[in-house]
């Protein structure tokens, strides 16, 4: 038998009515104003973001700092020659033998003339040397050496050691006496003999001027080896060599220049820890209105044509 479905009640469909809700004029105004400002704000934000992107794109890329590489154009052969000379200069057993003297003199273009009044009798030993600067044909090394007769009676010293040099075509020579400051056989075979320094010229200044200048130089060297403060009073930009002892002025040649200026070529003897050595100097001196002298410039060399 087929079941009859008639027992289910019939549902009546309700008709939906679409009714429009009335909104007051006040609310409409609020909605309108809010929407208007929202649109304006959105436009402003959009413009700001777009402008920021354009600004970032237009900014130049940050510049990377270019550091110029400093190349060491010092010929290694020159360093070898200078360091070999330093070794010969500082390594000796006391009073130099004839062989040691000959070896040392072989580095010079001409064996330097010295008026040395004392000789070294204390042995020295080179411990190390390091190149500090090469400029204007002067090489400056930091030298560490030992002085003493026995192992128990020794003194270790560090100095700046200046070497004037010259040469060409890869061959070099020491061009004059080295000098001390506080803190390779490539010897040229042929050199111009006009470059040889001979300390035999005699100046023509009066005896009174010579005496006054020598008195000033004695004062200079006393302060040069004892007091930087006192040295500053009589000299410009000269560093004292404290620890050294001034021994003597061995040679002078004075030139009286225009404008109360004097050029003085001087060789003097200094002593450091019992060892003596000679040094060459060129002083540019000015005479003040009160009659006193002042060193405007000091160079540690005497040019070969100084007497001209």
Beta bridge partners of 255: 263
Domain end, chosen from 194, 219, 254, is at 194
CATH classification of the domain holding 219: 3.10.450.540
Task: Tell me, yes or no, whether 185 and 97 share the same domain.
Answer: yes
Domain assignment of residue 259, yes or no:
yes
Domain assignment of residue 49, yes or no:
no
Say what the pLDDT of residue 54 is: 47
C-alpha 84/C-alpha 91 separation (Å) is 11
What are the φ and ψ backbone dihedral angles of 46, each rounded to 5 degrees? -65, -45
Domain assignment of residue 28, yes or no:
no
- Asked if residue 15 has pLDDT above 60, the reply is no
C-alpha 301/C-alpha 263 separation (Å) is 13
Task: Tell me, yes or no, whether 118 and 186 share the same domain.
Answer: yes
Q: Give the model confidence (pLDDT) of 223-268 as tens digits.
A: 999 999 999 999 999 999 988 999 999 999 999 999 899 999 999 9
Task: Tell me, yes or no, whether 173 and 223 share the same domain.
Answer: no
pTM over 0.85: no
- Please report, for residues 84, 90, 222, 305, the alpha-carbon distance to residue 87 in angstroms, rounded to integers and kept in the order given: 5, 5, 30, 30
Task: Tell me, yes or no, whether 220 and 293 share the same domain.
Answer: yes
Domain assignment of residue 223, yes or no:
yes
Number of domains comprising the chain: 2
Q: Give the model confidence (pLDDT) of 281-298 as tens digits.
A: 999 999 999 999 999 999
Task: Tell me, yes or no, whether 188 and 222 share the same domain.
Answer: no
Mean pLDDT of 168-193: 75
Task: Tell me, yes or no, whether 94 and 159 share the same domain.
Answer: yes
Domain end, chosen from 149, 171, 194, is at 194
Q: Apex CA 87: angle with CA 198 and CA 90, to 5°?
A: 70
Task: Tell me, yes or no, whether 173 and 97 share the same domain.
Answer: yes
What is the domain extent for residue 118? 76-194
Task: Tell me, yes or no, whether 171 and 220 share the same domain.
Answer: no
Q: How many CB atoms lie within 10 A of CB 224?
A: 26
Say what the pLDDT of residue 55 is: 47
Domain assignment of residue 57, yes or no:
no
Task: Tell me, yes or no, whether 161 and 93 share the same domain.
Answer: yes
Say what the pLDDT of residue 213 is: 97
Domain assignment of residue 2, yes or no:
no
Domain assignment of residue 59, yes or no:
no
Domain assignment of residue 35, yes or no:
no
Task: Tell me, yes or no, whether 83 and 190 share the same domain.
Answer: yes
What is the H or E stretch that residue 173 is in?
strand 171-174
Task: Tell me, yes or no, whether 129 and 183 share the same domain.
Answer: yes
pLDDT: is 184 or 108 the higher one?
A: 108
Domain end, chosen from 194, 216, 248, is at 194
Under 8 Å between Cβ of 301 and 176: yes
Task: Tell me, yes or no, whether 212 and 183 share the same domain.
Answer: no
């Amino acid at each position: 038998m087929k079941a009859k479905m008639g027992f289910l009640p019939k549902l009546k469909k309700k008709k939906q009515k679409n009714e429009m809700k009335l909104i007051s004029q006040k609310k409409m105004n609020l909605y309108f104003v809010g929407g208007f400002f929202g649109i304006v704000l959105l436009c402003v934000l959009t413009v700001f973001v777009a402008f920021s992107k354009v600004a970032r794109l237009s900014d130049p890329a940050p510049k990377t700092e270019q550091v110029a590489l400093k190349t060491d154009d010092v010929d290694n052969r020159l360093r070898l020659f200078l360091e070999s000379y330093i070794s010969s200069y500082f390594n000796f057993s006391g009073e130099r033998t004839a062989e040691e003297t000959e070896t040392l003199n072989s580095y010079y273009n001409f064996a330097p003339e010295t008026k040395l009044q004392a000789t070294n009798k204390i042995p020295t030993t080179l411990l190390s040397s390091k190149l500090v600067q090469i400029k204007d044909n002067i090489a400056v090394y930091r030298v560490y050496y030992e002085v003493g007769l026995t192992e128990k009676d020794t003194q270790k010293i560090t100095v700046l050691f200046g070497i004037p040099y010259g040469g060409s075509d890869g061959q070099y020579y020491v061009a004059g006496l080295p000098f001390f400051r506080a803190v390779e056989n490539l010897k040229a075979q042929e050199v111009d003999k006009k470059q040889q320094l001979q300390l035999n010229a005699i100046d023509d200044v009066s005896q009174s001027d010579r005496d006054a200048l020598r008195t000033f130089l004695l004062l200079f060297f006393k302060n040069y080896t004892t007091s930087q403060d006192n040295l500053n009073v009589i000299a410009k930009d000269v560093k004292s060599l404290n620890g050294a002892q001034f021994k003597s002025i061995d040679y002078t040649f004075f030139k009286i220049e225009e404008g109360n200026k004097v050029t003085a070529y001087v060789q003097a003897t200094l002593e450091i820890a019992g060892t003596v050595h000679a040094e060459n100097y060129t002083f540019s001196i000015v005479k003040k209105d009160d009659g006193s002298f002042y060193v405007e410039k000091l160079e540690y060399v005497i040019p070969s044509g100084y007497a001209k």
